[in-house]
Amino acid sequence: MSSYALEFSSNPHGLEINKSYAAIDKFDWKRRQMVKYQLRNRGIKDKRVLAAISKVPRHEFVDSSLRDLAYSDSPLPIGHNQTISQPYIVAYMTEAGEISPSDKVLEIGTGSGYQAAVLGEIAKEVYSIEIIPQLAIKARRTLSRLGYQNIQVKTGDGYQGWVENAPYDAIIVTAAPESIPKPLIEQLAINGKMVIPVGKSNQEIFVLTKTQNGTLSEKTIPVRFVPMRRKFLQ
């Protein structure tokens, strides 16, 4: 995944265990501080995004040895030369996707599953693709253990998307290709948005909006993501 970027709310899509979980969650204070200083103070305003990130236990998506750093303002390693994104970037990309509760979302680059969980708190359905089999298996187990029933994870080449479930109202890409994959544009619904880092040494997040007449593209902020991989790694 990447490098950078209150109260519990009820949600039928996942984390139904949170009412009891909150009482024993020693990381609750850290999560609230993260939302206040790393997200709100940097301009994240979407209430659904803030509520989702306030709720998802980020420490469950990192190695146990790194849990005390789970709410720090930085990416963290998750193995296989991949990272869990900085919280701000997760929030930024989710907000830029303008995701509604009725939406179907495709995520490219499951990693540990954290971004998928945040999306799962907002969207109706989330389909996530991870090219590294070990990460896909682990993310699937974590998401299942936390109660998410609206997220599907598969091992595959994210460049090709997940055509069986297209079109998607939003596509969030958490690895950087050198150019925007055409299959992903084709799988985006009309009026849908794709949020994707693009570039090699110099990367920027692009926000694409698909229209009846083509796509509108906007460059937003500089970032540093791991490159998008095109073949399976064992």
DSSP 48-109: HHHHHHHHS-GGGGS-GGGGGGTTSSS-EEEETTEEEPPHHHHHHHHHHTT--TT-EEEEE-
User: 152: closest CA among 185, 189, 175, 119?
Assistant: 119
CB 146 within 8 A of CB 14: yes
Q: Which residues of 70-109 are buried (b: 16+ CB within 10 A; e: fewer)?
A: bbeeebbebeeebbbbbbbbbbbbbbbbbbeeebbbbbbb
Structure tokens at 233: 């790694």
Distance CA 43, CA 234 (A): 40
User: 114: closest CA among 170, 163, 70?
Assistant: 70
Q: Which residues are catalytic?
A: 85
Distance CA 225, CA 205 (A): 10
Distance CA 148, CA 142 (A): 9
Distance linking the first and last C-alpha atoms of the chain: 18
